[in-house]
Amino acid sequence: MIPIEMKFYQSLQDMFIGANIEGQGGFINLMRIKSEYYKKIENLLKEDIEEILANTIYENHDLLIIKDKNPKRGEL
């Protein structure tokens, strides 16, 4: 993975999970559950993000091809 991607996914994890906390209690248990849930959905998130990026790149590529096929007035 590219370092920029690693930073992105680390930031995403930090925002979702928050700070690591130790101890006992209801809030701590909720944070632990949230952390475990993130680990389960992390790969799904990555797949979704990669699919969206691929579709965006594909759509932009198509727009560039269409633009190249339609010369501006005066370029003929």
Query: How many Å apart are CA 53 and CA 74, to the nearest integer?
Result: 35
Is 76 inside any structural domain? no
Is 74 inside any structural domain? no
Whole-number Cα distances in Å, 68 to 36, 49, 57, 64, 75: 49, 29, 17, 6, 11
User: Domain containing 64: what range?
Assistant: 3-69
Higher pLDDT, 58 or 9: 9
Contact 31, 21 (CB under 8 A): yes
Is 39 inside any structural domain? yes
The structure's pTM equals: 0.54
Domain count, the chain: 1
Residue 72 contacts by C-beta under 8 Å, 6 or more apart in sequence?
A: none
Query: How many Å apart are CA 17 and CA 34, to the nearest integer?
Result: 6
- DSSP 8-state symbol, 73: T
pLDDT digits (tens, 9 = 90+) for 10-54: 898 888 888 777 888 888 888 889 989 988 899 898 899 888 888
Is 75 inside any structural domain? no
* Amino acid 16: pLDDT: 85
